[in-house]
């Protein structure tokens, strides 16, 4: 009986040693892979379009950022399910999209650049779907921000760029307490996503 117990103890010890040998390298490799995935030079950017817009709306801004050193694998534009700006549908889609970008790049945070109603949708996501823990910077362009909140979310660096020449979204809707509110003129609502001046302001906001 005593001999059997000794044999059983020896067997258990061998299994434990084998398990450590088998699983420890795998965990180490997984850690190395996570580090490798986070080697992009910049925090990934997620672009969020407005009413009746599409992911292609940001082609000019993306081209500019690429000329400034960003790469394709750092720039992601979402195609929102509700072109009418439904907050619940779009924030849920944005939540999933941001998590996908974070998983793909290995980064814990993203920066968001949003146009028009995309600003309100992004703020809703940040405030109601734990986006505040995943978003570092939010830059809105003619954002209908106050349809969601009047103040910048805590812990998120918010820049709101708006134009006095915007006849679609009233300026007061773009201004947020606690945000870096930047007023320009001579640029239309749609022009905000095709303006070299706005691009320079975006670059400055991203570098802060």
Residue 187 CA, chain-centre distance (Å), reads 26
CA–CA dist 150, 189 (Å, integer): 20
10 Å CB burial of residue 73 (0-12, 13-18, 19+) is exposed
Query: Which residues participate in catalysis according to the annotation?
Result: 116, 166, 189
CA–CA dist 99, 111 (Å, integer): 12
Is residue 194 within 8 A of residue 175, CB to CB? The reply is no
DSSP string, 98-115: HHHHHHHH--S-EEEEEE
Give the number of C-alpha atoms closer than 13 A to the C-alpha of residue 7, restricted to the C-beta side.
Answer: 4
CA–CA dist 167, 80 (Å, integer): 24
């Amino acid at each position: 009986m005593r001999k059997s117990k000794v044999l059983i103890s020896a067997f258990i010890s061998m299994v434990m040693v084998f398990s450590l040998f088998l699983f420890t390298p795998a965990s180490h490799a997984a850690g190395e892979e996570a580090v490798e995935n986070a080697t992009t030079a910049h925090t990934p950017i997620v672009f969020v379009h407005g009413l009746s817009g599409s992911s292609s709306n940001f082609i000019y801004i993306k081209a500019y950022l690429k000329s400034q050193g960003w790469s394709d694998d750092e720039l992601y534009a979402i195609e929102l399910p509700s072109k009418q700006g439904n907050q619940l549908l779009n924030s849920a889609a944005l939540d999933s999209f941001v998590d996908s970008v974070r998983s793909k790049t290995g980064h814990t945070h993203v920066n968001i650049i949003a146009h028009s109603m995309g600003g309100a949708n992004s703020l809703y996501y940040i405030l109601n779907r734990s986006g505040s823990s995943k978003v570092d910077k939010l830059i809105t362009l003619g954002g209908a921000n106050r349809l969601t909140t009047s103040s910048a979310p805590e812990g998120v660096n918010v820049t709101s760029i708006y134009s006095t020449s915007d006849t679609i979204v009233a300026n007061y809707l773009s201004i947020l307490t606690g945000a870096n509110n930047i007023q320009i003129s001579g640029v239309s609502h749609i022009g905000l996503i095709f303006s070299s001046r706005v691009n320079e302001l975006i670059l400055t906001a991203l570098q802060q």
